[in-house]
């Protein structure tokens, strides 16, 4: 096995349902870690799944079919996403679900499955904290991580929280995460440790504004 690079990617998805065979991805988000610290580089995209969102899933994330009508299809965003994650290690909570969802979507457009190494923080937490609850919310509560923005599920919010949980699980103090271009750690970390072909997919100004409106609507206390 090749030596592990200092770059990892924290990943999460939101979906139309819980069965990969008849569900689709509606939001995918990932943030870059270098030596387990967030650089501020991230990927986030809403996706039109071309199928109805199940009521149970909508109750979790509150993302509607109407909101997704003008969003791109999975096949239109997949190359940017694959370029972002590259071949680096993925950090996912309940990884089997997200990987299965992604690979099912890839199979629908006749692409090969991703085969990145993966750290499942659910399994890590179960081993490190036996007897505790191991949901993302429970782990945030255990580690005193602020979840005030997580009133509904959002892949973009969840990857921020998961990066902090992961740092706690591996016993590392994390530098402050920021999506802003003036994140003081971004260029320093990238210049020192950047590896591989990384294409950073950043939302346009219009997409940023739409996302901020979505966050404001669904996370009024943030």
Active site (annotated) includes residue 153 = yes
CATH of the domain at 17: 3.30.420.10
Q: Which of 102, 105, 110, 101 is nearest to 20 (CA)?
A: 101
**Residue 22 to residue 27: CA distance in whole angstroms:** 16
- Kindly state whether residue 214 falls inside one of the protein's structural domains: no
- Kindly state whether residue 36 falls inside one of the protein's structural domains: yes
Residues 6+ away with beta carbon under 8 Å from 126: 134
CA distances from 176 to 9, 33, 38, 112, 173 (A): 16, 12, 8, 35, 10
**What is the domain extent for residue 95?**
7-207
pLDDT for position 154? 85
DSSP per-residue string spanning 102-134: HHHHHHHTT-PPP---EEEHHHHHHHHSTTS--
- Kindly state whether residue 1 falls inside one of the protein's structural domains: no
The pTM for the full model equals 0.78
Tokens, residue 219: 């996370």
pLDDT along the chain (222 residues), means of 10: 74 95 96 93 96 93 94 96 97 97 98 97 96 94 88 84 95 62 43 38 56 55 42
- Kindly state whether residue 94 falls inside one of the protein's structural domains: yes
- What is the longest distance spanned by two Cα atoms in the chain? 46
- Kindly state whether residue 215 falls inside one of the protein's structural domains: no
pLDDT for position 122? 97
pLDDT for position 81? 97
pLDDT for position 56? 92
**Looking at the 3D structure of the chain, how many domains does it have?**
1
pLDDT for position 51? 96
- Kindly state whether residue 213 falls inside one of the protein's structural domains: no
- Kindly state whether residue 222 falls inside one of the protein's structural domains: no
- 93, 134, 153, 218: the catalytic one is 153
**Residue 12 to residue 157: CA distance in whole angstroms:** 9
pLDDT for position 208? 57
């Amino acid at each position: 096995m090749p030596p592990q690079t200092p770059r990892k990617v924290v990943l999460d998805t939101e979906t139309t349902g819980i069965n990969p065979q008849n569900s689709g991805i509606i939001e995918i988000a990932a943030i870059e870690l270098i030596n387990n610290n967030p650089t501020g580089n991230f990927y986030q995209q809403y996706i039109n799944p071309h199928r109805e969102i199940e009521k149970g899933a909508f109750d979790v994330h509150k993302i509607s079919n109407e909101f997704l009508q003008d969003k791109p299809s999975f096949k239109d965003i997949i190359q940017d996403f694959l370029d972002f994650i590259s071949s680096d290690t993925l950090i996912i909570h309940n990884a089997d679900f997200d990987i299965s969802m992604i690979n099912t979507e890839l199979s629908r457009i006749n692409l090969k499955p991703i085969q990145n190494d993966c750290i499942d923080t659910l399994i890590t937490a179960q081993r490190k904290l036996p007897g505790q609850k191991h949901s993302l919310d429970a782990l945030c509560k255990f580690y005193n991580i602020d979840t005030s923005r997580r009133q509904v599920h959002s892949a973009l919010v969840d990857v921020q929280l998961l990066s902090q949980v992961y740092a706690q699980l591996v016993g590392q103090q994390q530098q402050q995460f920021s999506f802003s271009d003036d994140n003081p750690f971004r260029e320093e970390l990238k210049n020192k440790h950047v590896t591989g072909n990384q294409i950073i997919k950043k939302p346009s100004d219009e997409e940023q504004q739409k996302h901020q409106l979505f966050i404001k609507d669904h996370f009024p206390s943030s």
